[in-house]
Chain A
């Protein structure tokens, strides 16, 4: 079945550092790919998405590119802020069982001033 594997955390960085959170997936065909963010005590918010190969999703300075050849969707940001501290989830929506999002286990990110 479909699955998502993402970089284990926790990840701790200093403000203005570069961020990469790795995400790889296993799925049939061309799934839609997502990054969700969960701030402390809150629900999940859609951060960015890509629905076909080579698409680049971007939002709030974060970017991720849908790489079919490596089945990856790594999250990147050039300069992180303290306010980026949160848990980040990579997820896919497969072409089969279309009502279901499959999530990675989440990566906790802490940014120190």
Chain B
């Protein structure tokens, strides 16, 4: 099925470890983004990309890194995990700058201990 695929679904990290959350879409969407969801705060934008080779920071970028080498993939890297990064992470993609809405992945639940 077409859509946005995120892996892994669950992950536990120790403080200071690094890891990469994977995101892939097969809809040829130019726009991709990463959000984190925390209780009572809705979703907040971490980083986004308007096309291969182009990325920019969102609302809460500290501690995260991204790159976009292909249209399909947009991985999110945690450089040195901290307990404050415990959250649910969603990748989303869109057509036409999100005018008609974004397609979201099923999320990665990350716990940092």
Q: Which of B31, B33, B40, B98 has the most CB of A within 10 A?
A: B98
User: Which of A42, A98, A103 makes the CB contact (< 8 A) with B43?
Assistant: A103
Minimum CB distance partner of B56 in chain A? A99
User: Interface size of B by Cβ–Cβ distance < 8 Å?
Assistant: 28
Are the CB atoms of A46 and B102 closer together than 8 Å? yes
Per-position binary interface string of chain A over residues 70-111, scored 1 when its CB falls under 8 Å from any chain B CB and 0 otherwise: 000000000000000000010001000011110111100000
Q: How distant is A101 from chain B, measured CB to nearest CB, in Å?
A: 6
Residues of A within 8 A of B (CB): 4, 32, 34, 36, 42-46, 49, 51, 89, 93, 98-101, 103-106
CB<8 Å pairs between A and B, sample of 30: A32-B98, A34-B101, A36-B104, A42-B107, A44-B92, A45-B104, A46-B103, A49-B100, A51-B99, A93-B98, A98-B97, A98-B98, A99-B31, A99-B48, A99-B56, A99-B97, A99-B98, A100-B33, A100-B48, A100-B58, A101-B33, A101-B35, A101-B45, A101-B98, A103-B42, A104-B42, A105-B40, A105-B41, A105-B42, A106-B40
Q: Determine the main DSSP class of A at the interface with B.
A: strand
- Judge whether B90 is part of the interface by a CB distance below 8 angstroms: yes
